[in-house]
């Protein structure tokens, strides 16, 4: 993982990291890289961008606290 610094996401302090995987679908990887924002307090990813083997954005994932939690 490569550290990309700190960033505020959805009002939460996060650590931004990037993971790069082999560009080899035969090894079982469906993506080339992912950028994640890990919540400092909750210790979970709250935002993730996933790039395919051609380095094109294919997924944007986010986690938010439900109003009743």
For residue 69, pLDDT beyond 60: no
Instruction: Compute the distance between CA of residue 28 and CA of residue 6 in angstroms, rounded to an integer.
Output: 30
3 state SS of 45: strand
What's the pLDDT at 68?
A: 61
Say which DSSP state 8 is in. Answer: E
- pTM, entire model: 0.83
Tokens of 17: 């990291």
CB distance 1 to 38 below 8 Å: no
Q: What is the mean pLDDT of residues 18-27?
A: 89
Q: How far is CA 45 from CA 3, 4, 27, 35, 58, in A?
A: 14, 14, 24, 10, 18
């Amino acid at each position: 993982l490569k550290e990309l610094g700190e960033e505020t996401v959805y009002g939460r302090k996060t650590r931004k990291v990037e993971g790069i995987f082999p560009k080899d679908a035969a090894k079982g990887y469906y993506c080339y890289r992912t950028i994640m924002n890990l919540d400092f307090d909750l210790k979970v990813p709250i935002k993730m961008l996933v790039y395919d083997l051609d380095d094109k954005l294919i997924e944007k994932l986010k986690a938010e606290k439900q109003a009743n939690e």
